[in-house]
Amino acid sequence: MAILKIARMGHPVLLQRAEPVADPTAPEIRRLVADMMETMEDAMGAGLAAPQVHVSLRLFVFRVNAERASGDAQDTPMSNSVVINPELTLIEGDTRLRWEGCLSIPGLRAAVPRAWRIRYTGVDTDGKPVGGEVTGFHAGVVQHEYDHLDGVLYPTRMTDFTKFGFNEELIRAGTI
Ligand code: NI
């Protein structure tokens, strides 16, 4: 396993539409996913998409830590998970501002409008289906990571630029 170098905002790979994974069960995909999980943990992130490690493929890893889960029945803690070739459907009617950061935009955090409830599908490295209907943090992290596969970074989604800042200033101000 290896810790991978994370592309930061400004790198063109973050603005590309990523390509579908031809064979999710291929050994090189399994290795990439293992390395991405290790990289996410090392960086203390909640999610990491392949373009963020300079690989323009449609897959991402994520986790839902107990302290981040909203407590909803469909937003429970999850250990490291992978979604390959995801499809995402936003369930309209409840959009909420959620604080999020990005390992490609280090040190910053913003309140971003996201659908509270989504449905998503994909497969894991055994080719088994993953996903379902989820809410809260789980729904937010999947929307954020899915955006990376379309070359979209969270500042594009922002509507209130007063809720955007450096982590330490936001904490000092009591905003987050
Ligand atoms: Ni990100």
Tokens of 113: 């409008």
Taking the centre of ligand 1 as the mean of its atom positions, its distance from the CA of residue 176, in whole angstroms, is 19
Would you call 74 exposed, middle or buried from its count of C-beta atoms within 10 A (0-12, 13-18, 19+)?
Answer: middle
Catalytic-role residue among 133, 145, 168, 169: 145
Taking the centre of ligand 1 as the mean of its atom positions, its distance from the CA of residue 102, in whole angstroms, is 4
pTM over 0.85: yes
Given a cut of 90, is residue 71 above it in pLDDT?
A: no
Given a cut of 90, is residue 172 above it in pLDDT?
A: yes
Q: What is the pLDDT of residues 15-70, one digit of tens each?
A: 999 999 999 999 999 999 999 999 999 999 999 999 999 999 999 999 999 989 98
Could you give all domains of the chain from N- to C-terminal order, each with its CATH number? 12-172 (3.90.45.10)
In the annotation, is 145 catalytic? yes
Q: What share of the chain is helix, strand, coil (3-state, %, to 5)?
A: 25, 35, 40
Q: What is the pLDDT of residues 97-156, one digit of tens each?
A: 999 999 999 999 999 999 999 999 999 999 999 999 999 999 999 999 999 999 999 999
Q: How far apart are the C-alpha atoms of 26 and 31, rounded to whole Å? A: 9
